[in-house]
Every structure is written in C-alpha cells, then in structure tokens.
Structure 1
Amino acid sequence: MKAVLSGIGAALLLLVVVLVARTAMVPAPESFPSSPSPVVFSKEQAAAMTQRLSRAIQFPTLAGQADAFASFHAFLEQAFPLAHASLSRQAFGHSLLYHWESSNDCAPILLLAHQDVVPVSSPEDWLQAPFAGAIESGYLWGRGAMDDKGSLMAILESVEALLAQGQSPACDVWLAFGHDEEVGGVQGAGKMAAWMLSEGLQFAMVLDEGGMVLPGATLGIDKPVALIGIAEKGYLSVILTAQGGAGHSSRPPEQTAIGELSRAIMMLQASPRPAFLNGATRQMLEQVAPWQPWGKRVVFANLWLFEPLVLQQLASKPDTNALIRTTMAPTMLSAGVKDNVLPATAEAVINFRLAPGENRETLMTWLEEALPATVNARIAEGFFAEPSAISPVDSSAYQQLSVLAEGLPAAPVAVPFLLIAGSDARHYEALSGNVFRFLPASFEREDVARFHGANERLALSQYPAMVAFYASVMTSAF
C-alpha cells in the first residue's frame, strides 16, 4: 500500500511539475507598436464623414428594393467623386466591384462590405426612426450603421481621403460591395467571386465584417479583445414533418402530428451535437493565455488536461456555447387550419449552424438516426453553406492585420475567432488562403443584440477610427 501511495504521490508531483512548466512557457504579453495612420481628420472632416454615413442610412436597401439601390449608387458617386474618378467600377446586378490600381508589383487585397440591410420588424421599439440616420447622444442611429453600411462607407471614405492627399495603395485594392448578403449573397458576392476567379485573381488577403472589439471579460482578461474571424460556421435549414390522422378535435388519438413533432424537437434539444475545442476557438483561448492571471493561465496553457472543464464553462452560455458545437434553433412552425380540426401534418423549420468539422451529410445522418420513425427530415430549399476553411494565424497576412487591429484606439489584444453567423466572405475562399472577418470598431457586450435588432447604432467616436483603419490596410503590404 505504501508503494502504491508513493507512486500516486510521485505521479501527482510530476503532473504539477508539467503544469507549472507548461504555464511558465507561455510567452509574456506582447504589444506591437502601431504605425501612425496615413490619414488624420479634423473635427470638421469627421463631422462631414458622419453626415455622409447618416445619408447612407436613409436609403432603405432591403432585398428587392431596386429603386433604393439605384438611389444609393447615385449618392455614392456624388459623395466620393475622387474615388469614382480614379477607380474602375463594375456592376453585378445591384452589387458593385471597384478596382484601385497600384504602381507596385505585389499581391492585391480584397475588402468586402454589403449594401443590403435586414427589415425592421418592430419600429416602435426604436428610440430613433430606423432609416432616419439620426445623430443623437453621441451615436449615429439606424439600420445598417453596424451591419454593414458603416464598413462600406468607411472603406470609401478612406479611399477618398488617400486620393485627396495624393496617396496610392501599397498593392492593388479591390472593393466588393454585395447587395444580398442578408439572404445568402448568391447573386451578389457569389457572382463577383466567380468573375474574379475566372479572371485568375488571387489575393494576399480578403477582409470582411465579422468579429469586432469587445471587452475581454468574457475571456477572463482586463484588456479589450479584437476578435478576428478566421473561420465561420455553416448554414443549413431542415424541415421536420410529423404525420397524424386528421379528424375532429373532440376525439383526439393518443398521438397527434403536433405532439409527435413537439416531442421530436424536445428530444433533439435535449441531445445537442457534441462539443469540441479545436480550430479557431482553441487558438483564441491559447492566444489570450498570456494576459490571464496565473490560475487561469494554468488552465489555458494546459487545455490537454482541462478541456472538459473549459467546455463545460463555454457551454453554460449561449454566445460561447455556439463556439464549440453545431447549434440548432427551431425558427418556424406550421400546423392546422382550424381550432377544432386535428391536422394531418405538422412541420417545423430547424436552422442549424454547422461547426467546422461538421457537414451536411454528417448532420442528416445524425437526424435520421435520432428522430423517431413518425418524423422525417428534409433539407429546406434555399441558401446552404458548409463551414468555411480555417485561415492560418501564422501567416504574414494575419500578423499584419493583428498589428493594425491592436493599433485601434481601444488598444485591444488581437485574437483569432470563429464567426458563429455568416458573411459574404464564404464566397471568396477560392480567391485567397487568408480570409478574415473583422469590423474595426469597439462595442459593449450588450451592443451585440443590436445587430439585426432594435436601436442599431454606431458611436460617433468610432467612425473616424474605422476610416483610419481601412486606410492603413490599403497602404500596407500583406
């Protein structure tokens, strides 16, 4: 027995030594010196830029609103005369593709943003009218301020400012502004990407919306974090259908179509897809380890041991649970025609966001095995996307982008990130091995709900910094 206890004690001691040694190997926190921005704005110039963004918000560029897009395009030509005189422009439906040539022989970059916005379901919940572009209380309010006209306008503002100062980009710059991102991007980004691929274009970097600067408290650090999306989840909607006998509601059978469908949904929610810690999420945790207090640094530096504990913590909150598994959300229900008639069928639409490593085949196989025989599943018609590839964090493109992100006014720590939503970036994977998703603005945690929600807004102090960021991107070689 003494020998056994002695062996256990030695093993525990060895484990402690390994944990401490691995933690000690975590590099010290490092901050990269930021380069001065190639553009600087006076208060008057910043105010003028804000007014132009306000005007852009006033065009309700919703899917199918052809007149709104046409008017918005005319406004862009008037607002940015130097850009439209110096850059070539092609139209793909309502989507716009610009090209700014450089005199240098280096790989081009591609900057993305989208013109379209989502509808406003409850305008009475807004403090300011959704399409008024109101400037109030230090914010610019309106649908599109965050998603994604803020980025689109900031990109064009940076081009205009550089041209006004006689500057040119380090390498060729392409700008792709889709018109249907909110409904999948097939007609806009999809067609622009296909054309560029047919032309043999390859980019050193592709940059779209996605992550942003947020408080680091969620990751256990005091400094803000710049979440640079290096991958995004897939998108798949599935229709579940349950069959039942139609008839009078006064004589209900033991099992009804609605009851069977409800039980199936509850069963799926009670048995979520497996959680795992790899790819972008694992890299995110490893990169914030240097800024952690000692206790948490031990955990993040030794994920090989503490992974189950970390997964348990991440799974406890919806926003972090989405980082570690494929998620499902019932979004639509349909059954019945009258309150006293039993429906013959009941249907539900389940929206799945596929984690990297999952695909359509594995998900449908799981559904076929998990669902009861009374419920069947089929893929809904419409937009579908597999999870994206994961862009490398050891590339010069990611390192350069990280330096620029850490030079933002909040002085954040740049970390890789899995985008749980979708973006137009997924259409451009064949054009670059470095596809990133980052919105260069700081927000609070509660602001995330404003994306597609009520009271979308952008702090006035953030906008000039966004313009300066994009100007730095264009004058940098990746």
Structure 2
Amino acid sequence: MKKLLFILISLLILLIVIVVIKTFTYPFKKVNVKTASDWKMTKDNSAVQRLSGGLKIPSVSSGELGEFNYSTFDTIKEYLKTSYPLVYQNTEFVEINTYGLVFRLKGSNPSLDPILFLSHTDVVPPGDAEVKDKSENIFRPDDKPLPAVSEVSEDWDFGPFSGAVANGRIYGRGSIDMKGMLFSLLESMNNVIKTKHIPQRDIYLAFGFDEEVGGQQGAFKIASYFKAKNIQFDAVYDEGGLILEKGSVAGINSDIAVIGCAEKGFLSAKIKVKGLGGHSSMPPAESAIGKAAIIMQRLEKNQMKPVMTPLINQFFINVGGSMPFVNRMAIANQWLLKPVLLSQLTKNNSTNALVRTTTALTMMKGSDAPNVLSPEVEFVVNFRLLPGNTVNDVKKHIANATKGFDVEIEEIDTVKEASAVSPANAKAYKLIESAIKEIDPAAIATPYLTVGGTDAYKYQIVSKNIYRFMPIKINNAEKQSIHSTNEYLSIENYMKMIHYFEYIMRNYDQ
C-alpha cells in the first residue's frame, strides 16, 4: 500500500514538474519592448474639417436590404469629389451600382497583384435622436453649402450629425464605424499623390454603401466587378479588429492589436411551433408556447461544442505572455488542461464567442391577447458560426433540438458560412504588424477572430489574404459607443489612421 502511495505521489510530482516546465518553456510571444519613441501626433486641421463635414451628411442605411433613402448618398458622393480633387484627378474612378465607389491608383509594375482597402459610406441610425430635415450652412472645400440636418438628443454630447469638433474629439454617427476609416484612406492616398510617390503595385480603394444592412448592393457587386475583370488582390484590408487599450481586456497587461484573420458565419432561423389553440379557460396539457419554451431551453442548454481552433490558439500564444501564471499554465498545457481552459472561456461572453458557434434567442411571437392560446408560436434563433462549423452542422443541431415537436423551420436574413482563415505569415499581415509599431510600439499584435460581419467576406472571391483591422486605440467606453449613442473619434486616433494607411501604401513593396 505504501509503495502504491509512493508511486502515486511520485507521479503527481512528476506531472507538476512537467506542467511547470511546459509553462515556462512554452513559446509565448514576448511582450513588445518599446524600441522606438511613441508616435507624435501632428494635427492636420484641414483633414479634421473634411471628416467633420462628412459626418454632417446623414447617410443612413436601414430597413429592408438595400431599400432606403439614397438622396444623402448623392450628397456624400459630391462632397468627396470636392474634398479630394487630387484623388479623383489622379486615379481611375468607377461607380458600381451608382453608389459604390472604386478608385485605382496605378503602380509602376503591372505584373504585381494590387492591394485593396475597404470602407463604406453608410451608417446606422442615430438611435433616439430627433432628426429633422433642414437646410444649414455645412460648407464644402469650395465654400458651397450642402444639405444638412438639425437634431436634438439628450443622449449625445453633440448631435449625431453635428460633426462637432470639441475636447480633442470629432463627434458624430459613423465617426468610428466607419467614415473615420473612409476619410483616413482618402487622406492617405491624397498624401501619396501629393508627394508624387509611385507605388510598385496598383492601390485600390472600394467603398460600399449598404454594409450595415448586408452589403448585397454595394460590396457584393463591387467584388463581382473585380472578379469579372479577373483582378486578384495580394491583400484586402477592411474593418474588424482594433487596438484594445491596456486594462480593457481582463487578465492581459498590455495594449492588444487584434487583427481579424477570419470572421464568423451567420444563420438566423425562424422556428414555428404548433399546438392547440383556443380559450385560456380550457388549456391543453401542453401549449404551443410551452413546447417552444422546451425547444428554446434545449438550444440554450445544449449549445454546439466549444473548440480551440488554430487561429484562437495562436491568439493565446501571442497574448499569453502578458497574462497571469495560472492562465499561461492552462494555455501551455492543453494536452492536460484543455477541458478546464474551454470551460473557463465559455463562462465569459466575449471569450465564449471565440471558441464556439454561439446561440442567441432574439425574437418571439405568440398570442395577441392575454386569454387566447395561440395555435402557433414562433421564435428566432441566431447562430454565429465558428470556422470549422458549417451551416449544415447548425441545421442538424436545430433538428436535434426540435425533435419530437411539430415545427416549421425557415432560414431568414443572410445565411453565410464562416470565412476562410487568412495566414498570419503572409507579407500582407507582416505589413500590418510593422504599421502598428509606427503608432503603438508596445502593443501586442495578434491574429484574431472577428465575431461580427464585415464587407470583407464578399472579397474572398478575389483574394486569399483578407485582414480586418482598424488602427485606432480605444477603451471600453469608446468601444461601447459604436452603433450606440455619443459616438466619437479622437483626433489623435484619426491622425494615427491616416499615418497607418499611408505607411502601408508607401511601404508594401519596400
């Protein structure tokens, strides 16, 4: 007995030694040591004013896919043309489906595949802000007034379409998502042209106009245009990741630049559950709404299994070096502790989305009266697909959850598979890392999974290297303002964006 106990204790000690050694020798990416001084901002007041003017144009996309008021999109087209005459004069400019805008700056070597930068001119509605059509003096660079709006809102420090510049910030709906990126790209290309720099490969800008409602009329048709012309891109750059300020991610003691190398898929299903209707005074043993509740409970309790994908494993290798010892131990010893690691990750909303296809019950409809039993109850469940899971996998999952009930299942909204995963060792990715060092030398740059949808997905038909990253450093409050109230972009972040994109345009082939 003593001998057995001794053997067990020895094995336990050996196991602990192995775990500790693996933790200390695991190839975590070293936290960046500042090798250069912090980026010094040089404020460009004219660039700030151009963005401010663009934010005053309420180019809102909402409602049915592609069905909304396009008059403000005519306004923004005219505003861009007068704001950036050098860009329009020195590039090949094409309009796709009237409001999709494509610019091509020719390079010196046509044998090289071009690079492409994406953005979109549309924004989401401003929430509860009261917006009234009105003519005001919003001036373009040629001093001609543009149509504008007046607005009243208790939730915004300044009106959502004021374009106010105050407190070192530029306020307005779309300042972050995503007119800030759109205008910074035009500023960057304008600077490249102004200094007579000729890149080796062609540089394209492509701006959709309905990204917020699916991008079917904008980005989809622009990507199809490129495909029809047999244009393949060496890199496609879009929104997605951000530089998350130190302290905004629990357990990580550094700024983190998360670069979306893939994005999740999407499937929304409307499930109609049938039962006996009638008066509530004589209810059946099991109502339609009760049956629906059982199905919903199954969907929430028995979700699709969490998985440590290679992309997320690489993410943890990169950020693990700045995490506490216990976290590093779990990451370094997944051969032993993977179930524990996944269990912990699924307990947090943010990290749960990185390791599994998520399930979200979003809508429900039943009877219209308190004393009436509806013979049919419907609800909507939204899945965001992890790379490696397929739409067919999710359909089987739904079938299992509804087994034993009389149901009708209808797919609604856009359905798409998870994207391909772009490599983190490609030249296009390395340029992102180099450009990040320009604006935040101490940030940890890492591949990441974009959990929301972007226009980038549609460009898989013309490139294998697609990266989703917006080069701004934000805290949790600023991140929360995206698609919410009081959205703003700091002037410092805007200047960083211009520098970042200009760096990539100038240095892609250096």
By the TM > 0.5 criterion, same fold? yes
In the alignment, does 2:11 pair up with 1:5?
Answer: no
Pick one of 224, 236, 244 that aligns with 1:214.
Answer: 244
- Matched letter for residue 160 of structure 1: N
- Matched letter for residue 109 of structure 1: I
In 2, the alpha carbon distance for the partners of 1:161 and 1:375 equals 63
The match for 2:425 is 394
Whether contact under 8 Å (1:34, 1:406) holds in the other structure is no
In 1, the alpha carbon distance for the partners of 2:286 and 2:435 equals 60
Moved more, 402-411 or 67-76: 402-411
In 1, the alpha carbon distance for the partners of 2:285 and 2:479 equals 44
1:72 CA drift (Å): 0.3
Deviations 1:31-75 (A, max 9, x none): 4888999x99743xx222111111111222223221111110000
TM-score when scaled to structure 2? Answer: 0.87
In the alignment, does 2:472 pair up with 1:441?
Answer: yes
Moved more, 221-230 or 274-283: 274-283
Whether contact under 8 Å (2:236, 2:467) holds in the other structure is yes
Deviations 1:105-125 (A, max 9, x none): 533111111111112332243
Q: How does 1:155-234 map to 2 (within 5 A)?
A: 155-217=185-247, 218=249, 220-234=251-265
- Corresponding residue pairs, total: 475
The alignment partner of 2:416 has SS state of coil
Whether contact under 8 Å (1:264, 1:375) holds in the other structure is no
In 2, the alpha carbon distance for the partners of 1:41 and 1:84 equals 27
The match for 2:313 is 282
1:151 CA drift (Å): 0.6
TM-score when scaled to structure 1? Answer: 0.93
Whether contact under 8 Å (2:270, 2:412) holds in the other structure is no
Whether contact under 8 Å (1:243, 1:375) holds in the other structure is yes
The alignment partner of 1:384 has SS state of strand
The match for 1:102 is 107
In 2, the alpha carbon distance for the partners of 1:13 and 1:338 equals 66
CA separation of 1:41 and 1:73: change in aligned 2, threshold 3 A: farther
The alignment partner of 2:412 has SS state of coil
The alignment partner of 1:373 has SS state of coil
Deviations 1:98-148 (A, max 9, x none): 111111353311111111111233224333221222223332222111111
Whether contact under 8 Å (1:211, 1:229) holds in the other structure is yes
Whether contact under 8 Å (1:183, 1:383) holds in the other structure is no
The match for 2:150 is none
In 2, the alpha carbon distance for the partners of 1:164 and 1:32 equals 35
The match for 1:92 is 96
The match for 1:454 is 485
Gaps of 5+ in 1: none
In the alignment, does 2:365 pair up with 1:364?
Answer: no
Q: How does 1:54-93 map to 2 (within 5 A)?
A: 54-63=52-61, 64-93=68-97
Whether contact under 8 Å (2:176, 2:487) holds in the other structure is yes
In 2, the alpha carbon distance for the partners of 1:152 and 1:344 equals 50
Structural RMSD (CA): 2.4
In 1, the alpha carbon distance for the partners of 2:372 and 2:479 equals 42
- Matched letter for residue 197 of structure 2: Q
In 2, the alpha carbon distance for the partners of 1:35 and 1:92 equals 43
Moved more, 64-73 or 198-207: 198-207
1:276 CA drift (Å): 1.4
Task: State the identity %.
Answer: 33
Whether contact under 8 Å (2:95, 2:102) holds in the other structure is yes
1:239 CA drift (Å): 0.3
CA separation of 1:73 and 1:390: change in aligned 2, threshold 3 A: same
The match for 1:122 is 128
In the alignment, does 2:153 pair up with 1:153?
Answer: no
Moved over 4 A (4+): 32-37, 39-42
The match for 1:373 is 404
In 1, the alpha carbon distance for the partners of 2:243 and 2:31 equals 18
1:441 CA drift (Å): 0.2
The match for 2:50 is 52
Whether contact under 8 Å (1:334, 1:348) holds in the other structure is yes
CA separation of 1:25 and 1:307: change in aligned 2, threshold 3 A: closer
The match for 1:473 is 504
In 2, the alpha carbon distance for the partners of 1:427 and 1:36 equals 38
The alignment partner of 2:355 has SS state of coil
Q: How does 1:316-465 map to 2 (within 5 A)?
A: 316-409=347-440, 411-465=442-496
- Matched letter for residue 79 of structure 1: S
Moved more, 403-412 or 184-193: 403-412
The alignment partner of 1:398 has SS state of helix
1:293 CA drift (Å): 4.6
